Structure 1
């Protein structure tokens, strides 16, 4: 029984730690394709990040093992942030603005 609890705890931890950047990346990818661009969807993306993050945390408990959760969520992060990086290199996504 304690092995199940520790596995569930580490699955939840994987969802919590890797889920937030994944939620942000997913919401960012979605707003880039809106008709008005990211400027019109930024507020909706920020609001949507919390429920997406909670969904990722909840879904992380469905993995068979904690190792699987860490690998899949880590891979999803690499995929999403890689896509954002490629879009930025292709000049299809805006660059970060310098603070003034």
Structure 2
């Protein structure tokens, strides 16, 4: 597999969770709470994911793409976890209970 193929793969596999995390972080600070922006965040995930895939092709090497995107995932999900521990973001259990 050549370099471009593995860069694209990195963007595809690591880009989706990164897009979800970025969109989630974006709605947590809304004035109406996360409930006010959840539809916009879900809708924005696809274009953000595609942008991450395109951006992943700009890395010099496949290794750099995997490392940077993996690090970005760790950072975003670590921040989401920290916000949850500080009770600044709802837990997934509370979100699913409020939806039913």
- Same fold by TM-score, threshold 0.5 exceeded? yes
Q: What is the correspondence of 1:13-92 to structure 2 with a 5 Å cutoff? A: 13-92=9-88
Unmatched 5+ stretches in structure 1: none
Alignment size in residue pairs: 96
**In the TM superposition, what is the alpha-carbon distance from 1:96 to its structure 2 partner?**
1.2
CA distance in 2, matches of 1:48, 1:96: 20
Q: TM-score, normalised by structure 2?
A: 0.92
Q: TM-score, normalised by structure 1?
A: 0.92
* CA RMSD between the two structures: 1.3
Unmatched 5+ stretches in structure 2: none
Structure with more of its chain in helix, by fraction: 2
Q: Name the counterpart of 1:8.
A: 4
